[in-house]
Structure 1
Amino acid sequence: MARMANGPDASHSPFSSNAPMSAAEREERRRADRELRESELRFRGLFEQTPVSMQRFRPDGVSIKVNRAYEKLFHLTDEQLAAAKFNLLEDRQIAETGLLPIFKRAFAGEPVLTPPTPFDPNVAVPGGRAGLRYIRGHFFPIRDSLGEIREIIAMHEDVTDLVKAELALKELNQELEAKIAERTRALSESEQRLRAIVETQTELVGRYRPDGVTTYVNPAYERLYGKRAAEFVGKNWIEAAAPELGETVRGKIAGLSRERPSFEFLHHKTLPESGRALHEHWVNRGIFDESGRLVEIQASGRDVTELVEVERRFQESEARFNRLFVDSPAGVVLLDGVTMVAVNPAGLRMIGFSELKEAVGRTLLEFSPEFQPDGTPSLQAAAQLAKQRETQGNSRFEWTCRTLGGAELTIEAFSSTVEIGGRTLAQVILHDISERKRAEQELRNSLERERELSQLKSNFISMVSHEYRNPLGIILSSTELLKRYHDRLTPAERMESILDIEVATRRMAGMIDNLLLMGKADAGKLAMAAKLVDLVELSQVIINEALSAGDEGRKIRFEHSGIESFATGDEQLLRLILGNLLTNALKYSPPERAPSLTLTRVGRHAVFAIHDDGIGIPEEDRPALFQAFRRARNVGLVNGTGLGLYIVKHCVDLHEGTIELESAVGKGTTVTINLPMFPALTELASAIGSKKGEAS
């Protein structure tokens, strides 16, 4: 770069005298020239390597120089721009947007932030990137020592995706409105989560009515202005603003609609308490009711004072790189290989250092976990990123690191190569996106919970429609048979129909009982009432009940050992556990193969093992088998609600026990229940005494 605006006039140089210079003066001049060259090299490196598109203009609008990010964004080089004699102030597209007066203000010496402007590089200069892009520009002047404008610096931001997203959101409004009633509860929960996020934001977030009366501000207001939120709410901020700003904002509000729901502005003011100048960038979005009436405006403000200050100082050649490095809100690290040679204050704060000397000479790998989230070792991942930077010139990536305090951060980083003082270094710009990642994960979790609830609802409807149809059909056909042919039927045939009705009714009652038990379990109302229990006797009773409810002629083998004393447990819960497991064993095994129940004692634990030689359970179905309304895919036409094992799991958990399942398709299943049911001798004696007292 030929020294920005050719530098100050030679007549003002302290070395322009014709008097002979001493050796010390000559050495001082050589040192000053060397420092000036290094400063210019640093600025050239920053201009060329920054990921932000930048362009230099003459005051008459002619392009002087563009950086690599500009070439990547617009597909245009300095040579193409020069060949086309490109002049921004004469560009037809700019004139058609009606924004030319704003650009003229910028070239008159006023720092200007332009709104998103439609721009087709190929129309402006043949050979440029084809297709319409929306570009937001930030223009500020560079003046010489006499205050004359020498150049205009422009930074471009491609907001095409944002504009397209806004257009897409508009198209979705009608569809979303139809779902509002259905999603009221979900939106209420989402609003609470959003409020929690807004309350912790460092950016200013507020809402106000169309007349300018503030209705809400987040805690960032209190931190920035030193006032309570109540001092802002209810006040008309537009009337309190400067007249010119107030008039501009009123005009913008009047133009808000669902098609044009937002506007932006820069607000410059001075804090009365400290006298500090404050520059804020505000994005305002209208909130409309169903009829399209503007109800409220939500505003998000960002303190851009530091950016304005950096831009103001950008004209001072020697301070350009240092100020951008020191004042950057993002962390910036200069690396020689993987060793840190310089870190800006934001980077020091991010990692947890208090002074620069604590960081210099150390490597970033010292502050990284052994593995990155994708499983790649951090050392290997760093080598891959360094190779990518060498081949492509830069790299953008996410990185997990640890602070000095041990806290993990997710960093979004942009790495590029810069030349400083004859050394090739890696410049890494760091942004802490931990909060954003946590918000994204919370949103994914909410969507997954919603999907599970929807699946549960579908499973329930499917179960009710299928499982209730068969017994209802039996009841209906049997009653119809009795009603029409009662006189023709023998007593035995009438009794058979009555028994069919009774069996179907009991089956429906059992399904309803299971649903009620599921409801109690989900609501946490399924409780345990432990008492002394004779496990052998209870097991035999449950076996008999399971056999009487099934087909005639079925058997269940029962073996027990080591059960020589009473156990403590909830008899009703034990009935649910063993009853459901034994019923399943009978249902899913062939009639000629008898299931078995084995009861043993292991220390203070009772171990129940229920085995059958039935159809078995596919491995892919086992992880979800203890959830509500889940059944194995190979059950065929065997009746069931999918609630039995769900209830068993809850009853086992209430006993603070464990459940294990072993199965092979076509060979059978073994379910092992391990329950702590045999208390210490002192506990047992107390329980027996209590039971005798109740009997007396």
Structure 2
Amino acid sequence: MLFNFKQLLMPPVFYDEEKTRIGNLLYVVLLTSLGAVTLVFVAALVIRPFSTVRFFGALGLFSILAAAFAFMKRGAIRLASKIAIGVLVFLVVGAGFLLNGLETPGFTSLMLVIIMAGLLLGVRAARALAIFGILVATLIFVGQTNGVLPLFPTERMLVTTWLTNAILFAMAAVLLQLSLGSIYKTLDRARRSESALQRVNRAYRVLSDCNQTLIRAKDEATLLRDVCRVIVERGGYSLAWVGFLQGDGSQSLRPMTAAGDAGSYLDSITSVGRDCDPTLTAVERAEMQVLNVIDQTQCSVPEKITWSSIFASPLIVDNSVIGTLSVYAREVFGTEEIALLKELADDLAFGISVLRIRSEHEEVTEDLAERHRLLRTLIDNIPHIIFMKDTEGRYTLVNKLYAEYANHEQEAIIGKTALDLFPSAEAQYLHAFDMENMRQGNVLVDREVETVRHDTGEKRWLLMNQLPLLNAQNEPIGLLGIGHDITDRIRMEQELRYHASLIENTSDAIVSTSTDLVVLSWNKAAEAMYEIPAMKAIGRRISELTQTEYHGQTREEVVKQIFEQGEWWGEITQTTHTGKTMYVQVAATVLRDSDGKITSVISVNRDITSQKQMREAVLNQQQLEMELQQQKDLLATRNRFMSMVSHEFRTPLSVIQSSTELIDYYWDRMTSDKRQMHVRRMRAQVSRLDGLIEDFALAIRAENGHLTFQPATMNIELFCREIFEEFEMSLNEHHQLIFESSDQIDEIHGDRLLLGYILRNLLSNAIKYSPEGGEIALRLTSDRRDITLVIQDEGIGIPPEDQVRLFEPYHRASNVGTIRGTGLGLKIVKDCVELHGGRIEVTSELNQGTTFTLTLPIL
């Protein structure tokens, strides 16, 4: 459908009475004109016979009306669409005039002015003026076609007839207007009643949902958020928010929560005038405020608002305004709707009050519970047995320690008597004893009671205190008992007696002396060991009773250590007054009083003469076994060395021998190149033998400490580059050699011969144990204190278990396979590095490569 009749019949709603009246009047004119056009057009079709001209004229009029109705419904269409529809109306009407032979330039201009004026005045005026122009054009068109009402009186029609017909048409239009006006008023009343009912129902729905929210709310923040959400989502309002007064005494509001299209409006609520937002006024006056029409042209707000009415009600708790509830709507608030929103605001204030009271109650309850827990924790963690009984002997309180003694849970003890918990004989005694003390009001202080733990059967001793609990009339209402477990003290006393007996009867001499080393006690073992009875030893200095020799220390040093460190342990040699010499193991410890002051020294002396002699024999035996093992290791090393020498020398000697025999037997048949090849092979093997001999000689000199170290100032970078170039010239293209050096390398004090051996050995190993295509790098850096040489390869790596023995002589890694080597090179390298005051480190990973790092000091 191109238009909606219900929408067409409902006038626009303005938030100003004068504007509303004008809008209603324009719609009355529109409806009246529409009705007149329809009636006249139908009459013309019925009265006059059908013709093609009238048929197409009617079709044109229906097109005009359809365009006009579509134009009326879609008021937001762009101006170009409006102008196009106006031009269409103008062209169709003009075409109708021409079909009927009517050419009136003045009328055409009038129609154009009417239509364009309506378009420029606005959507609502364009609707009214466009349809008014259509009505006039149609009346003239129909009248001209049927001869009833031409544009002007003609010769065939008298002026009186023309006026009579015009009056009849006018009366018909007036009657139609009155009829449509009555219909419109009825519809308008129904529409208003329906709209008001919808708003009231909406407000009731919001009130009901918010009350449900109040009932379910657990905290204030959730309540405020849910109420605002219900107002907007269920009530269809544009915006709802709750603000609370600041606590600084000012009347400024702090938005707590909001729902709807708020934008940045709430951030600048204090800058919005009271004529545009009554929220602050509601807070100041403590009464509801409603603003039903906002003059948007007069309100200075940070952004375009999407509402036209505002409801603000203060939230009053305990007769004090704490904030406000504000609701924003696009329509005017009705009286009943305002009352319901006011009731909602009051319910919200009540809900806030209830939640705050509930929160305070919960805080008080939690505080009491916390105090109870603290008291309970204190009672349960006091290292004393605590219990309370009523006048019937029933337990009203016990702590955790008492429950452990009774072998019951705390809750299981409450309400029961000793007769219910303990064996009959003990229970009867305890019950009768407590009841008698309670009845007589006796106060029991520090009474030792022997009892038994019922869970373990262990005997325990308690130091009990009891006192009766009295009311205001000095009558007993219960009994409080506090017991302290003194089992440890009793057992300590027993242990002291035991240890005193043990000390007296032990085989070690136990002697206690004063701080000036005067004997205070002397046990039986001391009597036997030093051949002096206790009666003669006590009261004399220890130095008067025996001669003591301290090994590695003087007597004064030992005494000083005892008093400074609190103890001394060692072995001494003592000679008694009879001339007996013995080895004595001494453990001396100081004793202190409660203030930490040294009061005495106690020494435990044990005669270890026989153990000493046995230990010396064992040490001699171990020394002999160690020397034997060293000889075995030396023999194994020599065997391994001879095996290695035999293997390493056999190969080059075999090559030399075979080449010699070939030359000897086939000299005359060999070409010169063949002879030269065998000579080169023999020279290479001789060179290899020379290197082996040199390694063995260096190893022997290093092992005997006879390596010659002749340092001199040298340019280490140039030296490394020369060694590196030697390898570059002798290698094929199967390995990649890389040399890197930092910009500034200082000179060092080094031995060229030893450094050459180090570099050649490490580089040759890197090449030897790297696969074809592997990369070998020599990097040289300096930190102004040390020179660092790094030789890195991508070879087979060294197993972790072999890395710890890598620098031992004749040791080779377990994964070298058939690769030749003596096992001496790295040992010699390490000795050479240490002669330079440096260090060598190795890191390796199997099948990934090995890195040797040498650090040598600069001059």
Q: Which has the larger radius of gyration?
A: 2
Structure having greater relative contact order (Cα 8 Å, sep ≥ 6): 1
Structure with the higher fraction of residues in helix conformation:
2
TM over 0.5: no
TM range (shorter): 0.3 to 0.5
